[in-house]
């Protein structure tokens, strides 16, 4: 999709888990706002730690057609209006290369960092709430390696060693994610703008956890979506975007309310 509009171009770039969806993977309260945005021809661009396989299914289920950013900015996918063939923009290194780096980090710190793909289906279900085929889709990693969060004592050391390998670690709600240093959600948005020749597009970005920080910092309007216990303190404390907005309700309800308020104020 080319995402052209005649007015100022606004893009909704949104995290999924904990933001568009709650932690039971429900986004029902957001559906009317999604349809409203589609009527306005404002694109909705998922920007998530999920795999491409997971997001393709989600897009089909809720009828989205705009580009999507996966694995915390590891790659961007989309379809041309004239050709149904999917295109791909790659920002970082392969899963295979990153998995080897995670193993090297484990050796250096003397603690086994256990990747998502190393866990049993039963353990993944307990950790994430995913089941069956949803687990299979979540394991179809190509550009990042999710792993169980290290202890606070090990975290700084792990981050430092990752830097030696040209990598970064981003912490989500459930897991940490190892990516190439050229991969993050903000860089992926910038790359997508250039690819579509729409560098003047204005971004409303929504996220809920520290791995959304690069996305929120490049946004024109940054929205932190709280959980039921409030916004993530680490994210709020570290964000430098001066237009930060805290959504007035958790998950998809707050997502919808914030977007409606912003769009009604700016178009």
222-264 pLDDT, tens digit each? 999 999 999 999 899 888 766 799 999 999 999 999 999 999 9
Structure confidence at residue 267 (pLDDT): 64
Average pLDDT over residues 23-33: 94
Whole-number Å distance between alpha carbons of 225 and 13: 13
Average pLDDT over residues 4-29: 86
Identify the residue whose tokens are 């998502």: 116
Return the exposure string of 180-196: e unless at least 16 CB atoms fall within 10 Å of the residue's CB, then b. bebbbbbbbbbbbbeeb
In the sheet that 44-46 helps form, which strands lie side by side, from edge to edge?
A: 44-46, 10-14, 202-207, 221-224, 245-246
| Global confidence as pTM | 0.92
Whole-number Å distance between alpha carbons of 86 and 128: 29
User: What tokens were used for 198?
Assistant: 């729409």
| Catalytic hit among 8, 15, 154, 220 | 15
Structure confidence at residue 1 (pLDDT): 44
Reported confidence tier of residue 13, pLDDT bands at 50, 70, 90: very high
Identify the H or E element spanning 98. helix 95-109
Reported confidence tier of residue 4, pLDDT bands at 50, 70, 90: very low
For the cut 50, the answer to whether the pLDDT of residue 3 exceeds it is no
Identify the H or E element spanning 110. none
Whole-number Å distance between alpha carbons of 13 and 209: 15
CB count within 10 Å of CB 80 equals: 11
pLDDT digits over 175-223, tens only?
899 999 999 999 999 999 999 999 999 999 999 999 999 999 999 999 9
The question of whether 15 is a catalytic residue gets the answer yes
Structure confidence at residue 23 (pLDDT): 87
Q: Which whole-number Å values give the CA distances from 251 to 17, 27, 224, 235, in the listed order?
A: 9, 8, 10, 15
């Amino acid at each position: 999709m080319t995402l052209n509009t005649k007015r100022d171009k606004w893009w909704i770039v949104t995290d999924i888990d904990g933001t568009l969806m709650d932690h039971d993977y429900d986004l029902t309260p957001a559906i009317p706002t999604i349809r409203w945005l589609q009527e306005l021809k404002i694109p909705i661009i998922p920007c998530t730690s999920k795999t491409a396989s997971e997001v393709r299914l989600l897009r089909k289920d809720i009828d989205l057609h705009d580009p999507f950013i996966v694995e915390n900015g590891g790659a961007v996918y989309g379809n041309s209006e004239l050709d149904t063939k999917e295109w791909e923009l790659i920002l970082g290194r392969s899963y295979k290369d990153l998995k080897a780096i995670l193993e090297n980090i484990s050796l250096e710190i003397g603690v086994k960092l256990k990747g998502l793909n190393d866990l049993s289906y039963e353990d993944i279900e307990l950790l994430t709430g995913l089941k069956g085929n949803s687990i299979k889709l979540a394991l179809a990693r190509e550009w990042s390696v999710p792993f169980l969060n290290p202890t606070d004592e090990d975290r700084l050391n792990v981050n430092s060693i990752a830097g030696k390998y040209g990598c970064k670690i981003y912490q989500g709600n459930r897991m940490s994610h190892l990516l190439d240093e050229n991969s993050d959600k903000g860089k992926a948005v910038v790359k997508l703008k250039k690819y579509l020749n729409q560098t003047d597009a204005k971004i409303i970005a929504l996220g809920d956890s520290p791995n959304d920080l690069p996305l929120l910092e490049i946004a024109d309007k940054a929205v932190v979506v709280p959980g039921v216990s409030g916004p993530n303190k680490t994210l709020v404390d570290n964000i430098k975007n001066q237009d930060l907005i805290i959504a007035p309700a958790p998950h998809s309800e707050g997502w919808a309310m914030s977007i409606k308020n912003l769009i009604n104020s700016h178009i």
